[in-house]
Structures are given as C-alpha cells and as structure tokens.
Amino acid sequence: MKAIAYQQFGTTEVLQMLEQPKPAITSDQVLVKIKAFSINPMDWKIRKGEMKLMSGSRFPKNTGADFAGIIEKTGSSATGHSVGDKVFGVVKNLMKEGASAEYVAVPASLIWKKPEALSFAQAASLPVVGTAAVTAVEKMGKVNPESRILINGATGGFGMILLQLLKQRGAHITAVTSTKGAEYAKKWEAAEVIDYTKGHMLSQKNTYDIVVDLSGKMGYTTAKKMMKPKSIFINPTPQPVEIPLALLANLFTSKKHIVLLSNSESRYTEVLLDAVSKGLDIVINTVFPFTQFREAYQYAEQGGYVGKVVMEISDNA
C-alpha cells in the first residue's frame, strides 16, 4: 500500500510517498481502508523532532492521527463492527503511529460509526481536536451563562469545536480570531469577537473565569492579568517544564494553570456525536488529494484559515 512517511526529522521536504506492506490485524483490531485523514499541528511538531521524548526517533514514521474510511476486515474479537461499515477513528499511539496510508489497523475500541450527516473529511477531522475540546470542557467544571470565557485562537480545528460545545452549554464567549475567522465566530454565537491581526489589545483586567489559549502564543503570565481572582487558564501547548511547574504553582494561587493532555476515550466521542446530532458545524477549509501531501502540509502549517485541512485518498491514489 502507499503511505506518506519520513525517514528523518525535518520540514515538509522530508515527506515521501513510500510503498509499505498492508498492515496485519490482531484479534481485537479492524483494518480500515482510509478515505480521508486530517492534518493536526501535532503532525508537524512530531515531524520536526519537537516531541522526540514521546515520539522516539525510529524511522520510517507515518504521519496523521485521525481518519475516516470503510472497514475491510475485522479481528475475531473486534465486536460491534462489520466489514463495509463507514467509520471514523484515531490511531492508538498518536506519537508513534500514523494514518497517512491507504490502510490502517486500529483497535475496534478506537473507531465509531460515521454519522450520515458528516462527510468522510468532516468525520476524519473530529477525533483529535474533538476529544481535546471535550477534555477542555470537562476541566472547566460547571459552565453557565455567567461564565466569561476567552478562547484565543477560536476558529482553528480545536477552537471551532470548543466554541460550539461551550455555546451548546450557554457560556459567554469572547473569541480571538484572525479577520477570516471573525464571521465564523459570530455565526457560532461568540458574544464578542476580537481580531488579533488588527492589533486589538487584550487588556481587560480581572475579566475572565476561564482563558483557553489555542494559539500557543499567549502563555499563563499574560493570561493571568485578564483572569478573575478565582479562575483557570487552560494550556494545551505546554513546554515540558511547565507541566510540573504548573502543578506546583497551583498550590499557591487561585488562578489555576491547567495543562491539557487529551486522550481518545469513547466517552468523549459520545459527547461529540451528541453535539453532531445537535448541529455541530465542522468546517473543512481545504481537501487535498493524497498525491499532494507536501503542498497540503505546507498549506496547513502556514495557518491563516478557519477549520481543518484534510487529505483524501481516492481508489486510484
């Protein structure tokens, strides 16, 4: 089968189309013929060697974590799924495996039936950012219309889901976006929209119960100034040193620094599927064909778009 992989850490230049054996499945796994997989910032952080401690340095490495496709084979104990089912899912070890191939073998517990209302591209976009968004909502505790929440980077993959999940819970959201994102943030009913490209300063002191930084550029020190005395900062892009430091610092402050590390538990996907049934909007900015993998990653890494970038594999890839 064809797979997008790399043999060394580096820029998009290291990506190659390789011929690999079709994966064999164990009894608890299913073999999925991939129709689409989504691109996440984690893909290029791993590829650039920024997460070596977790990804290891063994090559070749495939890329891409979440996918949608059609079941081609099921293991003897992989119950609940049948050959021909349209599904979406995520690889088991996000740091060491990749879905950037014509087939992937995954545990049956990490795939779910694709809702009819979603395209393969939309379903492939859901697991990584969706479970992260549900985890973030869980970390927030009780959210109500009085909760003042700032989402910095509100219309990327993660932000688009988080903003809508929080609106379904009635929260008051301030969305920070680029100009392109502003109309979407309004459509998803953010109470206030701030365009960061226009140099609008986030200077409101003592305003927010919760600040979520999805840009990776704000940091706790900046966020703290805008936070109420009893509040939380959610950080899904921590530097390794921040993980223990945040835990320690939280013992001495009521402005908590919460490092977010999500995982793909089924209960999170159930929340997402419920949100989909209530009209969750999953915006796909661009779909690239499998053969244009380098262009796709270059485009995604550059940023400046709303929603997700996805790669599709046609039958004659």
Ligand X SMILES: NC(=O)c1ccc[n+]([C@@H]2O[C@H](COP(=O)([O-])OP(=O)(O)OC[C@H]3O[C@@H](n4cnc5c(N)ncnc54)[C@H](OP(=O)(O)O)[C@@H]3O)[C@@H](O)[C@H]2O)c1
The residue (of 52 and 217) whose beta carbon lies closer to ligand X is: 217
* Binding range to ligand X, per CB under 6 A, among 72-80, 176-184, 265-273, 274-282: 176-184
Is residue 264 near ligand X by the rule CB under 6 A?
A: no
Is residue 174 near ligand X by the rule CB under 6 A?
A: no
The residue (of 24 and 261) whose beta carbon lies closer to ligand X is: 261
Q: Where are the alpha helices (DSSP H) in the chain?
A: 41-47, 52-55, 120-124, 127-140, 157-168, 179-187, 219-226, 242-249, 266-277, 293-302
The tally of CA atoms less than 13 A away on the side-chain side of residue 125 is 27
Question: In which order are the strands placed within the sheet that holds 16-19?
Answer: 16-19, 2-6, 61-62
Is residue 214 near ligand X by the rule CB under 6 A?
A: yes
Residues between 228 and 247 that touch ligand X (CB under 6 A): 236-237
Is residue 181 near ligand X by the rule CB under 6 A?
A: yes
Is residue 260 near ligand X by the rule CB under 6 A?
A: yes
* Binding range to ligand X, per CB under 6 A, among 119-127, 155-163, 242-250, 291-299: 155-163
For the CA atoms of the chain, what is the radius of gyration? Answer: 20
CB of 1 to ligand X, least distance (A): 27
- Beta strand residue intervals within the chain, DSSP E: 2-6, 16-19, 29-38, 61-62, 66-74, 86-90, 103-107, 111-113, 148-152, 172-177, 192-195, 208-213, 227-235, 255-259, 284-289, 308-312
Is residue 122 near ligand X by the rule CB under 6 A?
A: no
Is residue 153 near ligand X by the rule CB under 6 A?
A: yes
Chain residues in the site for ligand X (CB under 6 A): 40-42, 128-129, 132, 152-153, 155-159, 176, 178, 180-181, 196, 214-217, 236-237, 260-262, 303-304
